[in-house]
């Protein structure tokens, strides 16, 4: 009986989504507009690269404008782009993305201020490659954060202030910032960001936040920083997800813990990989593995059962977001269509994955068309 039901629901799901109902006789439901579908729940966000903001990719640009009301710059507001050479700021690409957000009435998120990746080395070593003295590092952090946040004052609504600062076991990651300044760097980052734009909302961002030890450690740290006078408005849960992690129970538990601690949530980088994952549950960008056919099972397209399983998993996660939407301000998906997703090249180059809300041809994932 259960099997018959799941076959029936698979058939319904696969037939239920179209952005052009007149041309497709099988379909029964047209694609909803996502920002309307979720308007009573949360902002629904996406990411944009500078070349998309230039208008070079009309398919994705049209989807971004039509469906999303929040925007994060995928790469072009990272320290290595804005401040590659110390003090020679280049905001040109970031400005394009921010202008796009303003023109389209989108909530704009600045990504990212303090991260141990995609940041130039001068943040932590001198010209000879020696680790900086703590006072010099503090000054570097302060100058960069002040110049960047002030430049976007009134235009960026929220900043990912610190990113990926914890290990999955709940210990603090040994980043160059941590090695030179100890835990104090977290407090300083929030302090400098708040001083530069007191109206901006500030986010404490990380991946695998639903892992129990990591979740507890982040809550403890946010509470501690708040008690020391830091403004921290949201925990950012990246949520680069797999078919099995986080389980709905893990996700639910972590969302409840944040609610119980009065910590508001933004889902900052959600995506869902449909293909085998050789490196465990992580979003560590340094992870790499060799290509094997078995790691790329849907290179010629999803099978019906894989499409159904993927849609069911997306659906379960979104239902969980909606159940907890009183405490979730925003859900951002890391990629507009599957084609542009970082997942296609990570941790193995050149695979075919289906991690966003839109297939590569621009059609919406079926689970949204119920
Ligand atoms: O999506 C980004 C990809 O284009 C870059 O190559 C990659 C390099 O660091 O960064 C990706 O975005 C990351 C984000 O900035 C922080 N969390 C993990 C994201 C996926 O790696």
Measure 66 CA to ligand 1 centroid, in angstroms: 24
**Under-50 pLDDT residues of the chain:** 1-12, 25
pLDDT number for residue 57: 85
Helix (H, G, I), strand (E, B) or coil at 112: strand
pLDDT tens by residue, 237-252: 999 999 999 999 999 9
Measure 100 CA to ligand 1 centroid, in angstroms: 20
For residue 190, give the nearest of 235, 254, 134 by alpha carbon.
235
pLDDT number for residue 27: 53
pLDDT tens by residue, 24-63: 545 557 899 999 999 999 999 999 987 777 778 899 999 9
Measure 220 CA to ligand 1 centroid, in angstroms: 26
Rounded (10°) CA dihedral 163, 165, 167, 169: -110
pLDDT number for residue 54: 76
Class of 42-363 per CATH? alpha beta
**Three-state SS letters, 195-217:** HHCCCCEEEEEECCCCCHHHHHH
Domain boundaries, the chain: 42-363
Q: Yes or no: say if 370 and 311 are a contact pair by the CB < 8 Å rule.
A: no
pLDDT number for residue 370: 81
pLDDT number for residue 277: 77
Q: Taking CB atoms and a 6 Å cutoff, what residues make up the pocket around ligand 1? A: 74-75, 117-118, 238, 269, 283, 285, 342
pLDDT number for residue 15: 54
Q: Yes or no: say if 209 and 170 are a contact pair by the CB < 8 Å rule.
A: no
pLDDT number for residue 287: 85
User: Which ranges constitute the DSSP H helices of 197-303?
Assistant: 212-227, 248-260
Instruction: Determine the residue of 75, 119, 164 to mutate for testing ligand 1's pocket, defined as the one with the most ligand atoms within 8 A of the Cβ atom.
Output: 75
Q: Pick the atom of ligand 1 nearest to 341's CA.
A: 1
Cα angle for residues 337, 340, 346 (degrees, 5° grid):
120
Q: Pick the atom of ligand 1 nearest to 117's CA.
A: 9
Measure 207 CA to ligand 1 centroid, in angstroms: 11
Residues with a known catalytic role: 164, 269
């Amino acid at each position: 009986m259960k099997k018959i039901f799941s076959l029936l629901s698979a058939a319904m799901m696969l037939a239920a989504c179209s952005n052009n109902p007149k041309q497709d006789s099988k379909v029964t439901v047209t694609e909803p507009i996502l920002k309307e579908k979720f308007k009573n729940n949360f902002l629904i966000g996406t990411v944009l690269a500078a070349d998309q903001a230039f208008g070079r990719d009309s398919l994705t640009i049209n989807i971004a404008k039509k469906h999303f009301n929040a925007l994060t710059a995928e790469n072009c507001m990272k320290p290595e782009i804005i401040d590659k050479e110390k003090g020679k700021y280049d905001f040109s690409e970031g400005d394009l993305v921010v202008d796009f957000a303003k023109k389209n009435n989108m909530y704009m998120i600045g990504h990212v201020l303090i991260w141990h990746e995609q940041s130039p080395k001068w943040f932590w070593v001198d010209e000879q490659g020696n680790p900086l003295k703590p006072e010099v590092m503090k000054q570097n952090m302060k100058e960069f954060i002040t110049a960047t946040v002030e430049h976007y004052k009134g235009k960026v609504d929220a900043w990912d202030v610190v990113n990926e600062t914890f290990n999955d076991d709940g210990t603090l990651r040994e980043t160059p910032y941590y090695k030179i300044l100890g835990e104090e760097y977290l407090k300083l980052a929030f302090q400098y960001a708040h001083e530069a734009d007191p109206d901006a909302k500030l986010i404490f961002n990380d991946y695998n936040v639903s892992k129990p030890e990591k979740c507890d450690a982040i809550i403890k740290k946010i509470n501690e920083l708040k008690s020391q006078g830091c403004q921290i408005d949201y925990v950012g849960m990246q949520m680069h997800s797999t078919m099995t992690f986080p389980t709905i129970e893990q996700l639910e538990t972590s969302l409840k813990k944040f609610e119980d601690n009065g910590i508001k949530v933004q889902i900052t980088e959600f995506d869902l990989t449909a293909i085998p994952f050789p490196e465990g549950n992580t979003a560590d960008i340094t992870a790499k593995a060799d290509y094997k056919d078995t790691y790329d099972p849907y290179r010629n397209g999803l099978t019906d059962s894989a499409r159904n399983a993927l849609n069911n998993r997306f659906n379960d996660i979104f239902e969980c977001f909606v159940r907890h939407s009183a405490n979730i301000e925003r859900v951002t998906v890391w990629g507009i269509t599957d084609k542009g997703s970082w997942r296609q090249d990570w941790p193995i180059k050149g695979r075919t994955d289906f991690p966003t809300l839109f297939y590569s041809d621009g059609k919406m994932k079926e689970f949204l068309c119920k």
